[in-house]
Amino acid sequence: MVASQLKSRDIKDPLVLRAMATVPRHLFVPSNLRRLAYVDGPLPIGHGQTISQPSIVAYMSEILRIKTATQGS
């Protein structure tokens, strides 16, 4: 997912790429949709809500310019 969906869409922040590669996305979707968890598309998660597609999550995370505690502000 990271190489094919994120890097190809110009996501470059190493912290975002590492987080997207590390966090198990399938744990955040209903069990009947887990086979689709890593497809670059939104998925319903219940109560009329969706989990955004991975490339959008990465993009939103990247533009926040989040720093680690060791990086400071």
Task: Give the position of tokens 């009947």.
Answer: 32
Of the residues 4, 8, 52, 73, only one is catalytic, namely 52
The tokens of 13 are what?
A: 């922040």
Q: Are 29 and 43 in contact (CB under 8 A)?
A: yes
Asked about 52 being catalytic, the answer comes back as yes
State the Cα–Cα distance between residues 37 and 68, nearest whole angstrom: 27
Instruction: Give catalytic residue positions.
Output: 52
